[in-house]
Structure 1
Amino acid sequence: MKAHSRWLMISVGLGILLNPLNSSMVSVAIPRLQNVFQLDFTVVSWIIFSFYIASAIAQPVMGKASDLFGRRRIFLTGLVVAFVSSLLAPLSPNFGWLLVFRIVQSIGTSMMVGVGMAIVRIHITEKQATALSVLSIFLSGAAAIGPFIGGVLIHWWSWPAIFFVNIPFVVASFLLAWRNIPKDEPPTSVARGMSFRKWLDLIDAPGILLFTVGLVALLVGLLSAKSSGHLSLGNVIIGLIGLVALGAFVRHELKVTSPFIPLRTFANYPAMTWVNVEFMLVNILFYSLFFGLPSYLQMVRHVSEFQTGILMLSLGLCSLVTSPIAGRWIDKSGPRSALLLSAILMTFGSVWLATLNQTSPVISVCLALAAFGISNGLNNVGMQAALFKSSPKEIIGVASGLFNTSRYLGTILSSLLIGIVMGDKFSAGGLQVLGIILTVIAFSLVFLSWRRRESGQLKESVGSPSSN
């Protein structure tokens, strides 16, 4: 690979790692934010919800925007947005402003993820598979070590450090990208003549609005009822508004020509639909542990942020070590066996969580973390392989977008599950209840994986998938 191609990869890699890094570092920061702003977990969990809802919307929208206005321009703009939000978030006078800057940060980092892979695909023509796999390492590696980095930063410099740490990455990526990403072609006549109304139709602005209002209202209704301890008329009305908006969203998406989420694809390709359902369940399981366990360790077992980061590192390292091994295994044998093993490991980890109590050795959580880490490494490759095998080549772009949507929905549902189970205060009993619920979900994954194995839904031979 030529020197220019390597520098281009580094330029893009330093930018796209900011999204998974910032989504994972916050898992260790939740208890500190609760103390600083004097809020319960239900309210603070919006620091998680807001990031993933914004990412789910921004990434596909920015992908479309880059096709019209230039990938280099969108990538550099994303870096500027990330820089500004990382500077201003630590200065937030209250939690509301912190949420605003967190959403802006999510949009900025999503702009880079949305176009980073496309930049590499277009401008690196030799050893392209290797280049894409390296970018996947930036993404998965940043997510894996995020809790460790967050724990160290918060322990020594408090919570603003998880925002300030972005600045050197942003500056380095901007300088390298400005030099190494080729300039965009002049906008086409279609892009130059596009009206604002036409642009809104292209990104399906009404669909985005209905999706956002429906999801946020439903979450507010459910979490408010849990936080207050009783079901009030106001909570019911807000929840119903959310359900009505989501129903209108489904109806709208089935009618428009350029939908935000192409729901008709699910009906046309049932095998792909089941892969997305499984992927959503996988993410509910993984992120329930990912976001729930650090808060349990700090609030119930009184483990420091630094020690929590060290313990969480076992999850990240197991995931990173497993991914390349899983890639070779799946190349030879297909994804079925790997996904079945992953579901079994998640079941073991969930059962182990359910057995933990106030007197269990803190180090014993590493067994659950290792089980989920290995399963995550298997899923990173196996679920993508399953997606590629179940999706026709002509819709692989749409399928990949739906796949990412399933990831974000699973993540949002995991935070909702933690908020409902734990409420305003974490406890050992709450973790046991969470473990029981996760065990039921994991058993359903085992069933789905075994059912696929029996039915032969996925063939044994697959292409060479890249880790996500």
Structure 2
Amino acid sequence: MIPRLTPRTGRTARPSPTGFDRRLIAPMVLGSVLNPVNSSMIAVALVPIGVAFGAPPAETVWLVSALYLATAVGQPVIGRLVDMYGPRRLYLTGAALVGVAGLLGACAPSLGWLIAARVLLGFGTSAAYPAAMRLTRTEAERTGQDSPAGVLTALAVASQTVAVVGPALGGLLIGFGGWRAVFCVNVPLSAACLILGTLRLPGTEGQRGRGVDLPGMALFAVLLVALMLFLMDPGAGRWYLPVLSAAAAAAFAVRELRVPDPFIDLRVLGGNGPLLATYLRQFLAYTTAYAFMYGYTQWLQQGRGLGAATAGLALLPLSVAALTAATLTGRREAVRAKLLVGSVLQIAGSAVLLLVRADSPLWLLLAVGVLLGVPQGLVGLATQNALYRQADPERIASAAGLLRTFMYLGALGASAATAVFYPHRADTAGLHGLALFMLAGSALLLATTLPDRSLGRPTPRKA
């Protein structure tokens, strides 16, 4: 059974509300936006950081990659710890790490120390989303009201909103206090999470097993890091990385199938076809989404000749469309409908991208953003709701973390595709090649959704 809320030692138990405890929403949302705000703010800080340390773009890009790597590994690992020990302590530990990382970045004497701060940020920001999913499941079990759509929508919309305003916030902070302010802002954010988490998050008993599967977690980390490092810079000279990843995957499978309390229960996961399909859809959807964000932005600057600020404004319809779609449809699960509409619009947007040229009218450039923005709002909500229904309730946090991992794999796959189609510069021919790549991924997304009738009314799995 899912654990019930229990009073914390030494504190008077507060009366439990009959519905979802809305006091939980503020710490859940604030914690969940720590990752997207740090992912997006750094975009405007790369150049001044490079100037400060005399580092070229090939080195400063590790400030982005380090966060992706740490978060992709950290989300499912910390999610498993949330399942085992309860969300409160992991949430507070993660929030404290964010504060330490902020101080480290603010005082960093070199680029290497900054990269270390970003790794620490990645792990620190990995706790809140799995903790939020665990709390949502626990509240549904406590109240007997299985209607988390509004809460899940709040998490998704908050993350999308912060990702949109992150670059503007980063620019303001840099203008006010230099690039170190981008790291300093994590200190008050961390403090707010610690205060709200301490005051509002309930003490819960996790599903303790026979112990933490440290060897399984380590093999998973090797598997994922080697794969992601290869995707970041694929080439024949790095052949050893996919080999190492494959060897770690084999050892991980053997380990997880033999231990009594594995990090990822491959027997249960292998028998949960709907959840595996959700992970695949997450990967396909975000590969297309990030390919457009990376590739189209570069083309607007090099192929169309727009300045960086103007290119950013040209992507504003993408963000507005995603937020609007998520906000308007969030209270209705409609998982299959959202996936179908989202995949069809991704196909349409990718096809229209084939018509874009250097002399295309402005309305067409903006329309592509709208077409590909709506699926971001729809598919993100759909996969999140599907996972909530399909995952083993006792492992909901680790399953949610793994969902985020597949999103980051999609981001790195998109980055690798962008490098292939733009070998020298982002020209129109390369953009059209990238559009065909996106079209293929979107068609696969539709093909995995169309025959899956189980998505119409996904039934929650029982503990």
TM range (shorter): 0.7 to 0.9
Q: CA deviation at 1:463?
A: 6.6
Q: 2:219 aligns with which of 210, 220, 226?
A: 210
SS in 2 for 1:259: coil
The residue aligned with 2:382 is 382
With over 3 angstroms needed to count, the CA separation of the structure-2 counterparts of 1:301 and 1:171, relative to structure 1, is: farther
After superposition, residues 163-312 of structure 1 pair within 5 angstroms as 163-182=183-202, 184=203, 199=211, 202=212, 204-221=213-230, 223-224=232-233, 226=235, 231-232=236-237, 235-298=238-301, 303=306, 306-312=309-315
Q: C-alpha distance in 1, partners of 2:50/2:432?
A: 22
- Matches of 2:148 and 2:445, distance apart in 1: 32
213 and 33 in structure 1: CA distance in 2 versus 1, 3 angstrom threshold = farther
Residues 95, 129 of structure 1: alpha-carbon distance in 2 compared, 3 angstrom cutoff: farther
Distance 2:370 2:388 in 1: 27
The one-letter amino acid paired with 2:89 is R
Cα 1:458–1:327 change in 2 (3 A) is: farther
Q: How many angstroms apart in 1 are the aligned matches of 2:135 and 2:337?
A: 34
Q: Which amino acid aligns with 2:352?
A: W
Hey, what's the Cα distance between the residues in 2 that align with 1:461 and 1:96?
Answer: 49
Which whole-Å deviations, capped at 9, do the CAs of 1:305-336 have from their partners, x for residues lacking one? 554444333222212221244346x55xx433
1:62 paired with 2:62, answer no
Q: Is the 8 A contact 1:253 1:263 kept in 2?
A: yes
Percentage identity across aligned positions? 26
Distance 1:358 1:417 in 2: 21
Q: Is 1:140 equivalent to 2:140 in the alignment? A: no
Partner of 1:314: 317
Q: Distance in 2 between matches of 1:90 and 1:289?
A: 33
Q: Quick one: distance in 1 between partners of 2:270 and 2:87?
A: 32
How far apart are residue 437 of structure 1 and its match? 0.9
**Residue of structure 2 equivalent to 1:103:** 119
C-alpha distance in 2 between matches for 1:448 and 1:238: 29
Report which stretch shifted further, 56-65 or 292-301.
Answer: 292-301
Relative to 1, partners in 2 of residues 1:178 and 1:210: Cα closer, same or farther, differing over 3 Å? Answer: closer
| Contact 2:104 2:113 survives alignment (8 Å) | no
Matched, 1:442 2:442: yes
| CA distance, structure 1, for counterparts of residue 179 and residue 364 of structure 2 | 27
1:149 to 166, 171, 182: 166
Give, in whole Å, the separation in 2 of the partners of 1:13 and 1:179.
15
C-alpha displacement of 1:12: 3.1
Give the direction of change, closer, same or farther, for the CA distance of 1:396–1:208 in structure 2 (3 Å limit): closer
User: Deviation at 1:282?
Assistant: 0.9
Q: Output the CA distance in 2 between the equivalents of 1:31 and 1:348.
A: 35
**TM-score when scaled to structure 1?**
0.77
The 8 Å contact of residues 75 and 398 in structure 2, kept in 1 or not, is answered as: no
Q: Name structure 2 gaps, 5 residues minimum.
A: 1-16
Give the distance between the partners of 2:386 and 2:147, measured in 1 at CA: 20
Q: Is the 8 A contact 1:29 1:151 kept in 2?
A: no
Q: 1:299 to 1:5 in 2, by over 3 A?
A: farther
d(CA) in 2 for partners of 1:64, 1:390: 17
Q: If the length of structure 2 is used for normalisation, what is the TM-score? A: 0.78
One-letter amino acid matched to 1:133: G
Question: C-alpha distance in 2, partners of 1:170/1:304?
Answer: 35
Q: Which residue matches 2:13?
A: none
Q: Does 1:82 align with 2:85?
A: no
User: 1:107 offset after TM fit, Å?
Assistant: 0.9
1:350-406 Cα offsets, whole Å, 9 max, x none, are 233344344445664332221222112221333345446666878767754554443
Task: Report the alpha carbon displacement of residue 443 of structure 1 after superposing the two structures with TM.
Answer: 2.0
Give the number of the structure whose residues are more often helix, by fraction: 1
- Unaligned regions of 5+ residues in structure 1, if any? none
Confirm or deny: 8 A CA contact 1:386 1:458 kept in the other structure. no
SS at match of 1:379: helix
Contact conserved, 1:354 with 1:432, CA < 8 A, in 2? yes
C-alpha contact 1:28 1:305 (8 A) present in aligned 2: no
Render the CA deviation track for 1:118-142: whole Å, top value 9, x for unaligned: 3465579669767773464244333
* 1:447 to partner: Cα distance: 2.8
Deviations 1:172-219 (A, max 9, x none): 33333333334x47x89x98xx9xxx74xx2x3223322332333344
> What is the CA–CA distance in structure 1 between the aligned matches of 2:316 and 2:287, rounded to whole Å?
20
Partners of 1:147 and 1:312 within 8 A in 2? no
**Superposed displacement of residue 346, structure 1:** 0.7
Contact 2:301 2:311 in 1 (8 A): yes
> How many Å separate the matches in 1 of 2:145 and 2:193?
21
Would the aligned equivalents of 2:41 and 2:169 in 1 still touch at CA under 8 Å? Answer: no
Question: Superposition RMSD on alpha carbons, in Å?
Answer: 4.0
Residue type of the alignment partner of 1:142: S
CA–CA distance in 2 between the matches of 1:381 and 1:6? Answer: 20
C-alpha deviation, 1:436, in angstroms:
1.9
